Amino acid sequence: QVQLVESGGGLVQPGGSLRLSCAASGSIFSIYAMGWSRQAPGKQRESVASITSGGSTSYLDSVKGRFTISRDNAKNTVYLQMNSPKPEDTAVYYCNADILAVGGHNNYWGQGTQVTVSS
């Protein structure tokens, strides 16, 4: 069984920095694209950033230049470095990954981690 476990969320001041991590575990053969999404209260979930197995990245326009997604394939881990966060970045952040595992090829999601940007 595949699991994605996020960590690193919490309270951060505007203009500060925070790094989220998400580690995949289980009987994994390959991990393809990985990404981060977020959902604020009363809003739909939106994709924040994604990264392919080859390292190509894409970002939500509102976080470009502030957030950086990266991955460590040896550790099956994806990161989201959040620099200069704004109060509007407050949300539950979820990681997801496209994984080929013993059980087949599926898209998996983590349980979410709260990020609150406030002074």
Q: How many other C-beta atoms are found inside a 10 Å radius of the C-beta of residue 65?
A: 10
pLDDT in tens, 33-51: 999 999 999 999 999 999 9
Name the burial class of residue 37, with classes exposed (0-12), middle (13-18) and buried (19+) by CB atoms within 10 angstroms of its CB: buried
pLDDT tens, residue by residue, 81-91:
999 999 999 99
- What integer pLDDT is reported at residue 74 of this predicted model? 96
Q: Decide which of 73 and 1 is more confident.
A: 73
Yes or no: say if 95 and 22 are a contact pair by the CB < 8 Å rule: yes
Q: For residues 27 and 50, what is the distance between their CA atoms, to the nearest angstrom?
A: 23
